[in-house]
Amino acid sequence: TFDLWFTVISKTRDIPNIKDLIFPLVEITLTILRLSDSPAFYPSQLHYIRSILKIVSKDLYIPLIPNILKILLSNEITTLGTKCDEKSPIIRYMNHIPTSLYHSKLIKDALFDEASDVFLEYLCIISQSITFPEFSFFVTRWLRKANKSIKVVSISKKIKILTDRIEETAENITKMRDLVDFSPKDSDKIVNIYTFYPK
């Protein structure tokens, strides 16, 4: 139901009455994300976050980094898992982690892949804003600090690569901003600055 509403809003957000639904729907969804910290419900939390991403844009910022990194950097993902003979789970089709997969390497890998995919999708949207360098500053430091305690080598390497790419993107945007030759009062030119970014 939530995903349906986010889909409707993403396609009709310019309609005044529909636009008024954004705030309450986002607030309700963020409240649901805070209801439980149990890793068993990480799959459903990722579903909710992915639904919210449908309405996030450079013009509508919704703070999701804490919700995403809580999962991506959790012990359920960043610690060594037990072997399991079951098939690799597909997180997008799960609402919770079954007992048989709890703490297994299979579920840890699947959760990491899904959480990192959601994280990258969010960053791709946010990187269309000229404020991305400031936004990414604390994110990269959070990632680097957390990465020091990650025990799974493969995940640690992926986190490092991800962090490096975020910093690289921030540096590129900073270089673009340095080419700007106008002030905040030039509203027409400020609008045109977004021609730097792909639609």
- The answer to whether residue 157 sits within a structural domain is yes
pLDDT tens, residue by residue, 96-137: 998 888 888 999 999 999 999 999 999 999 998 888 999 999
- The answer to whether residue 28 sits within a structural domain is no
- The answer to whether residue 25 sits within a structural domain is no
Q: Tell me how far apart the alpha carbons of residues 129 and 173 are, in angstroms, rounded to a whole number.
A: 9
Q: Could you give the 3-state DSSP secondary structure of residue 176?
A: helix
As for how many domains the chain has, the answer is: 1
- The answer to whether residue 36 sits within a structural domain is no
pLDDT tens, residue by residue, 25-65: 999 999 999 998 899 999 999 999 999 999 998 678 999 99
- pTM to 2 decimal places: 0.87
